[in-house]
Structure 1
Amino acid sequence: MTLSPHVFDASADNFNRLVLENSHKGPVLVHFWTPKAGPCFILMPRLVKLAAEYGGKFLLVMLNADELPELARRFSVNSVPTVKFFWRGEVAHTIHGADPDSSFRQV
């Protein structure tokens, strides 16, 4: 499901295309979240707003770690929210927790 032109929901079927392939064209931020973690719902709208503000300079991908635990394990996500920045098919940076917006702007 497309949430906006630059925000997408991850699935097992689209993860490689959305994240790994697109990270060769530009940065991709993956927000690992679960519906049980309140901080995820604090961070999520802030990330969506940031994606809109940057207007396509990066893709934002939402990944529900409860629904896709194998992907969370693959990328060593032990707590949520976790945001991983992908560049050229690799994790370039990780932020744990609902850090201030300035943390995301610095990366």
Structure 2
Amino acid sequence: MGAATKDTSDATFEADVLKSDKPVLVDFWAPWCGPCKALAPVIDEIAAAHSDKLTVVKLNTDDNPQTSQKYGITGIPTLNVYQNGEVVKTIVGVMPKPKLVKELEAFIG
């Protein structure tokens, strides 16, 4: 886990994500997921570069099935952006950093 990201869980998701005063990017991942590992450094870089506008948290889907199920996470990596407690953007799969930054432009631009 990078310094700019933090872990969230079923127990802390509401406080960490839903009640946040700025947009939150949630990286739904699992330790066995190769594409998740490939995406992790990109997520860390985005978190570090845009921490003033966007909070970035990681949720291990194996350890936190309740939240994953609630938001219909069936494939990982899935990135959800939450704003005011609502999902406002969903990105599924791995993509190069420039494309991911473009996808997040509305929140970090």
For the pair 1:70 / 2:79, whether they are aligned, the reply is no
Would you say 1:36 and 2:59 are equivalent positions? no
User: Normalised by the size of structure 1, how large is the TM-score?
Assistant: 0.88
Match of 1:58 in 2: 54
Q: How does 1:87-98 map to 2 (within 5 A)?
A: 87-98=83-94
| 1:3 shift after superposition | 5.1
Runs of 5+ in structure 1 lacking a partner? none
Equivalent position of 2:5 in the other structure: 7
Say which SS state the counterpart of residue 52 (structure 1) adopts: helix
The answer on 1:86 being equivalent to 2:86 is no
Instruction: Please report how far the alpha carbon of residue 103 of structure 1 lies from its aligned counterpart in structure 2 after TM superposition.
Output: 3.2
Paired-residue identity, %: 33
Q: SS at the partner of 1:76?
A: coil
Deviations 1:61-88 (A, max 9, x none): 1000000111111001001100001011
Aligned Cα root-mean-square deviation (Å) = 1.5
